[in-house]
């Protein structure tokens, strides 16, 4: 690390000047700079451009030459259940309903807040290691997820999950609203954390609780996030319970609005795609989870063609089994090409958009998902000396199709290093491993 004064005495001051062989900005013009420079001040991006043009304009407290690296905006995971890292590999290769009702829900009913925090911390370590800087989380005891995200230095949007029937966490939905209010209070002055409402799914909630949660989301001006149309089996349950398919059902309740984020959206008709576009609803695409549970392929290209904003999510580690958005980018592209038997479907740039600027739009979080003046300095740097990343013709192609995430060398959130050279800087990895081993012993003793 080099400290120096660049520029002249009259030049604007910045905290950090970063130099990298490539900077992919993901700004509106999708500018890419070779031998790029990023000027950072107060956690935000002050300037970005070619090193030769940009660097001389600033006096910097610190200059870091990242060498042969590819800098991207930090990736945004729009649908996660961080604490489910606890269940990674616990029950694989099963149908969704069987997997949930026989293996996951019985254990979740016994989870302590401490275990939720532990699972979330493991997830943060994993997400940082593969370049995610922000995640939308739906689970229980979200205050613990907030604590883990703060330890890791990540951005988070917290969704305290609820069901229509009395759950282990809440006897009624009203109890959940109180928790959301508390979380909102806890995140009020924090630039890195926010809240959302997170009803589990149409088939596990009541019409009243869905309506009420949307009214509250409107009142608090925060996103409303739900699993929807995840599989043909879910559609069948919804038809049986409410006489409608999931998307028209949510529309009949007034829940299809621009603040709604629908996770999965695998089983959609042409009319439903048009309706989602008309209502301005956002979609969280989770290709690995959809493939692993054999739920089908979401019609992502059709959604994008219709004008729907689509972000990328990992879903929980129990159904993925990793929380790596590089894997999701690759899977999203390949799955869509296979679905449509069209190699032009979901090209690299569209996939990178989903993992960055579209993800930010999905969560309605301005200032992230791109590296441009006025935005936040959330970024990752890929080591281009890794054998799989040479030679390089197209930085975007390299990031989407060639990188696997293990090449991430540095991650900044709000201009601050939170992951470097294999270490999440806020997390004690050896301690985390010991605690996870103890959690595995606990789960062995408590399986149904």
Contacts of residue 305, Cβ cutoff 8 Å, sequence gap at least 6: none
**Backbone torsions φ then ψ of 23, nearest 5 degrees:** -125, 120
Smallest gap from Cβ 141 to Zn ion, in A, equals: 16
CB of 48 or CB of 268, closer to Zn ion: 268
Output DSSP code: residue 312.
Answer: E
Nearer to Zn ion, 318 or 411 (CB): 318
CB of 30 to Zn ion, least distance (A): 30
Return the number of the residue (69 or 205) whose C-beta is nearest Zn ion. 205
Angle at 148 between CA 142 and CA 153, to 5 degrees: 125
Cis check: omega of the bond before 391, within 30 degrees of 0: yes
Whether the Cβ atoms of residue 323 and residue 126 lie closer than 8 Å to each other? yes
How far is it, in rounded angstroms, from Cα 407 to Cα 403? 7
| Structure tokens, 44 | 């935000």
Instruction: Name which of 204 and 336 has its Cβ closer to Zn ion.
Output: 204
Contact in structure between 157 and 416 (CB atoms under 8 Å): no
Site residues, Zn ion (CB under 5 A): 315
| Min separation Cβ 88 and Zn ion, Å | 14
> Minimum Å distance from CB 264 to Zn ion?
7
User: What's the closest the beta carbon of residue 284 comes to Zn ion, in angstroms?
Assistant: 8
Compare residues 16 and 284 and give the one whose CB is closer to Zn ion: 284
CA atoms within 13 A on the CB side of 423: 7
* Smallest separation (angstroms) from Zn ion to the CB of 162: 14
Q: How is residue 106 written in tokens?
A: 């019985």
Q: How far is the CB of 91 from Zn ion (least distance, A)?
A: 16
In the bound state with Zn ion, the residue whose beta carbon lies nearer, of 60 and 198, is 198
Nearer to Zn ion, 160 or 315 (CB): 315
The phi-psi region of residue 394 (left if phi > 0; otherwise alpha if psi is between -120 and 50; otherwise beta) is beta
Position with the least CB separation from Zn ion? 315
CA distance 404 to 327: 6
CB 228 within 8 A of CB 253: no
């Amino acid at each position: 690390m080099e400290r120096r004064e660049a520029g002249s005495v009259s030049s604007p001051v910045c905290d950090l000047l970063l130099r990298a062989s490539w900077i992919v900005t993901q700004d509106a013009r999708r500018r890419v700079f070779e031998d790029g420079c990023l000027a950072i001040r107060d956690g935000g991006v002050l300037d970005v451009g070619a090193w030769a043009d940009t660097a001389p304009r600033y006096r910097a407290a610190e200059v870091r030459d990242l060498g042969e690296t590819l800098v991207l905006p930090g990736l945004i995971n729009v649908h996660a259940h961080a604490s489910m890292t606890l269940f990674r590999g616990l029950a694989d290769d099963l149908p969704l309903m069987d997997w949930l009702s026989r293996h996951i829900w019985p254990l979740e009913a016994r989870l302590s807040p401490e275990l939720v925090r532990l699972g979330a911390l493991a997830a943060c370590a994993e997400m940082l290691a593969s370049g995610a800087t922000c995640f939308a989380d739906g689970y229980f005891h979200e205050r613990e997820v907030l604590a883990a995200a703060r330890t890791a230095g990540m951005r988070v949007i917290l969704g305290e999950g609820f069901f229509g029937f009395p759950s282990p966490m809440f006897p009624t939905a009203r109890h959940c609203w109180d928790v959301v209010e508390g979380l909102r209070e806890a995140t009020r002055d924090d630039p890195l954390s926010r809240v959302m409402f997170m009803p589990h799914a149409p088939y596990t909630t009541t019409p009243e609780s869905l309506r009420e949660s949307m009214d509250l989301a409107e009142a608090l001006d925060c996103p409303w996030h739900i699993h929807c149309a995840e599989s043909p089996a879910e559609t069948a349950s919804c038809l049986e319970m409410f006489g409608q398919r999931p998307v028209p059902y949510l529309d009949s309740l007034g829940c299809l609005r621009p603040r709604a984020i629908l996770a999965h959206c695998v089983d959609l008709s042409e009319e439903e795609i048009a309706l989602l576009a008309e209502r301005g609803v956002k979609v969280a695409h989770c290709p690995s989870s959809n493939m692993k549970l054999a739920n089908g392929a979401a019609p992502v290209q059709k959604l994008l063609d219709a004008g729907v904003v689509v972000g990328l999510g990992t879903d929980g580690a129990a159904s993925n089994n990793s929380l790596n958005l590089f894997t999701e980018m690759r899977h999203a592209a390949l799955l869509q090409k296979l679905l449509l038997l069209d190699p032009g479907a979901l090209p690299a740039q569209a996939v990178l958009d989903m993992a960055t600027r579209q993800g930010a739009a999905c969560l309605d979080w301005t200032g992230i998902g791109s590296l441009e003046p006025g935005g936040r300095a959330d970024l990752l740097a890929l080591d281009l000396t890794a054998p799989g990343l040479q030679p390089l013709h197209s930085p975007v192609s390299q990031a989407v199709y060639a990188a696997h995430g293990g090449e991430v060398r540095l991650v900044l959130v709000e201009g601050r290093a939170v992951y470097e050279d294999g270490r999440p800087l806020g997390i004690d990895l050896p301690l985390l491993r010991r605690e996870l081993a103890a959690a595995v012993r606990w789960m062995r003793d408590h399986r149904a």
